[in-house]
Structure 1
Amino acid sequence: MTLAVPERGVIAPQLYRVPDGAMRALNMTRTLVYDLIRSGRLRTVKEGRTRFVPASAIAEYVALLEREAGENQ
């Protein structure tokens, strides 16, 4: 998967809050994203009391889905 390339001069976020960016980036509901986090399929980091999903974790999860899809064919 290729993440969208930001316009010139715009810095792409490296950390997404679940309700703000992770849900949008994955096109999934809040409940499903938190289920993926609880199951360990989607990696997160914490800063203070806030949990973030790194952009790299989103790419890793999409790659996992692609591998699983390839195995099932």
Structure 2
Amino acid sequence: MLENFDDLLTAEEACEVLKIGKNTLYELLGAGTLKGYRNGRVWRVPKQAIVEYIKTQAKLN
């Protein structure tokens, strides 16, 4: 699933992987539910943060 992406995903790529809209992504990032950081005005989301978020939401941990 994530093999085609770099270690850091853009907001658009993260939306594509999670199949959510940008507003939802920004809400998750702002609340700290999904880990990421801002580089200027651009959000970057580590691939590992996406994996951890999915595991947490699916209660796989």
RMSD after superposition: 1.7
1:14 matched residue in structure 2: 7
5+ long unaligned stretches in structure 1:
7-11
- The runs of at least 4 consecutive aligned structure 1 residues that moved more than 6 Å come to none
TM superposition score normalised by structure 1:
0.69
Percentage identity across paired residues of the two chains: 22
- Say whether residues 1:25 and 2:36 are aligned partners: no
* Aligned-pair CA distance for 1:4: 4.3
TM superposition score normalised by structure 2:
0.81
**How many pairs are equivalent?**
59
Greater Rg, structure 1 or structure 2?
1
